[in-house]
Amino acid sequence: MFRFVFAAAALLVATAVAGPLDRAYSHQQNPDAHAQIVSYENVLKDDGHYNWSYETSNGIAAHEDGLGAHAANGAFSYTGPDGVLYRVVYVADENGFQPQGDHLPTPPPTPEHVFKTLDQIRANPPKDQKDFSLEALDATIARLRKN
């Protein structure tokens, strides 16, 4: 019985001591835990257009403008653990989420032989494919040239 009481007391003391240490460690790891919202705006118009924005006391900021679920343009920024301000500008539409930022990796350029092949397909479109679309092919070529 003495061993049980001693073990329980030791566990209680260890828990009491570890609690404050854990909170101090947690606060050191996440200094943004107590950030507050400095500004916030959310506007929804009758025609489906919307815009929202917010900024926090620790320098995080974001905004977005859009039309329903069809398209959105926005940006967000934050200071990373390395002290650098990171900013991402994005478009989200029928082509997906398209972020841009100096810190983001970019795809390699499209090889020229791919453009030649697509130009050949455009010059001689398949006649037996009902779902083939020159407009879609042109959009793909334009998107690849933009990158």
Tens of pLDDT, residues 128-142: 888 899 999 999 999
Give the model confidence (pLDDT) of 46-104 as tens digits: 999 999 999 999 999 999 999 988 899 999 999 999 999 999 999 999 889 999 999 99
> CB count, 10 Å around CB of 101?
15
Strand order across the beta sheet in which 71-79 lies = 37-44, 49-56, 61-67, 71-79, 85-93, 96-100
Residue with tokens 């926090």: 56
The Cα–Cα gap between 6 and 12 comes to 10
Look at the chain and report how many structural domains it folds into: 3
Same domain, 40 and 93: yes
Same domain, 59 and 92: yes
- Residues 6 or more apart whose CB falls under 8 angstroms from that of 26 comprise 33
Does residue 117 lie in a domain region?
yes
Indicate whether this model's pTM tops 0.75. Answer: no
Same domain, 55 and 79: yes
Same domain, 42 and 11: no
pLDDT confidence of residue 106: 85
Angle, alpha carbons 118-119-121 (nearest 5°)? 65
Does residue 52 lie in a domain region?
yes
| Domain span at 46 | 35-100
Q: How far from the centroid of its chain's Cα atoms is residue 53's Cα? A: 15
Helix crossing, 134-146 with 112-123: angle to 10°? 160
Same domain, 64 and 80: yes
